[in-house]
Structure 1
């Protein structure tokens, strides 16, 4: 089918190219819906509504990829400790450049301390490609069927996140992030990571069956990014299906650079930002640089507020939250 142009989500990158891909077969859905016609009117209402929604929406979704090899210097600058991962993404983009093939990125595991920017990286990759990002947090997982859905005969049954991303979303190749995969707790009845054995393999993912809808779904184009603090809690068969990247802590120089960028980004993103200096002082940068990026942003927002209460346009170290201002250089690369 002829390629079409679609407006990207991130204007800083080259315009993504989209082609249309079917993520399920209409005949499969019609056959499943037909089997429900003899059931009681209120029986399997959710399942019937799901099939009707699939028929109404149709199976075609956009398969996105950058229109060329994008200029990724801003990403390398914003994510200095993700160089190896960005190199990997860039290689995959180069392979699909000037071809009719879709963009395929080997599933990846990002290992690193909390707050270091792993989820932020995933959002940037989603913007680069032009698709949405779907976050699945294993740290707060309460049901083992979150990824693959639950059987329709169970009370409160519904499809899993993979099915929802492809059927209810716009894209055939969304970025799905499994956050804190090392915290997925299994029991004797259900392994919450069990569906990944097939989903992380390109061939078997092309006919993934959600346990609720029981209709084959093409999940072979999903871009998988998983994060973890410790790989020891992840089964080896899962690890073997992914490229594993150890995200190192920021060096002091890199941390100062990130802190300065965050200050300028927050300042530029708010109307009240014009009331503050163009850049923070060196001593404020030194204190911010002791934090991981997630904590930097929170500390900066508090500091801006405290400085405004003091009618100042310049941040002082004392404006930072006490916990941030008192932290030493812990966890830096030397």
Structure 2
């Protein structure tokens, strides 16, 4: 795909004031754009089969994955990159939303870009700042596309509902142009002031409370309510994580998690499961055991609950 028009970049660079210190940074970026060229690779899925692995790892995301499979099949028929409406994953903390996005990018061969919206204070972080500002620079979107090899990375907008900042520099404002495919084709970073084709970006956002997100953003996204995994799904997820940990560790652990751990293991949130199981396995190794016991799992709960402080 073509990321930008070379003649537009050349014109912008030629128009810079030669003696202006504010122009030095811009000139470097323009030169990098011309050196790297406007063409970028686009990952094109050959089938929806890779999503089966994601389904195994994240069974509570079945509804999302079924829709994504349809979009992938459409992309395969048209021999194009994945084109889909931005996805918003809404659900309680700990259900595995961020993990799902990472697994999705990995399964589709997409580069993964993480943006913490909860810590983003201004739209210029995404869309660049005016070159007249002190310390001005291009935003994260333009930077990743210019510096990357692919034009369709997966961007995770983590905790979209926690987006804050001064209303004059609203981070949501920068998303308006980016979330619409037609306008994203001519995205203009405020610092660079040249059109960049950001239309192939795959957008995935997470939120705990969608009521905090403006309607004009929600209307541009496909919203999915992600449930916590059922007990059976949670135990299945735990077994898969346990299998992966067994493969990493040089210890003869039993291949199956004991059924006696069912209630204890299924209480653990998906995002905490790997750490809890690894801690439990460490307890087992210390006790020279090859099978996890309830005491090993309970020990991780006690350690987490232990207070930290200073004593006189």
TM-score, L = length of structure 1: 0.86
Partner of 1:29: 9
Query: Does the Cα contact within 8 Å between 1:199 and 1:208 map onto a contact in 2?
Result: yes
1:245-283, Cα deviation, whole Å (9 max, x unpaired): 000111111111111111111111x142x3322122223
For structure 1, list consecutive stretches of 5 or more residues without a partner in the other structure.
1-20, 328-334
* 2:151 equivalent to 1:172: yes
Correspondent of 1:278 among 241, 255, 259:
255
Per the alignment, residue 290 of structure 1 pairs with 267
Among residues 222, 228, 238, which one is paired with 1:243 in the alignment? 222
Q: Residue 192 of structure 1: CA displacement?
A: 0.8
Summarize the alignment of residues 111-260 of structure 1 with structure 2, pairs less than 5 Å apart. Answer: 111-260=90-239
Say which is worse superposed, 235-244 or 111-120, in terms of deviation.
111-120
3-state secondary structure, aligned to 1:288: helix
**Retained in 2: the 8 A contact 1:28–1:215?**
yes
Deviations 1:153-179 (A, max 9, x none): 222222212112211111111111100
Q: Runs of 4 or more off by more than 4 Å in structure 1?
A: none
Deviations 1:82-120 (A, max 9, x none): 111001111111112232433201111000111211112
In angstroms, what is the RMSD of aligned CA positions? 1.9
User: Is the contact made by 1:107 and 1:242 (CA closer than 8 Å) also made in structure 2?
Assistant: yes
1:233 Cα offset (Å) = 0.6
C-alpha distance in 2 between matches for 1:105 and 1:128: 16
For 1:186 and 1:140, the matched residues in 2 are separated by 9
Gaps of 5+ in 2: 305-312
Cα 1:56–1:326 change in 2 (3 A) is: closer
Alignment of 1:42-53 (within 5 A): 42-53=21-32
Alpha-carbon distance in structure 1 between the residues aligned to 2:293 and 2:169:
52
Q: Which residue of 1 aligns with 2:294?
A: 317
Specify which structure has the higher proportion of strand: 1
The number of residue pairs the alignment matches comes to: 304
TM normalised by structure 2 equals 0.92
| Per-residue deviation, 1:141 | 2.0
Change (3 A) 1:177 1:71: closer
With a CA cutoff of 8 Å and minimum separation of 6, indicate the structure with the bigger relative contact order: 2
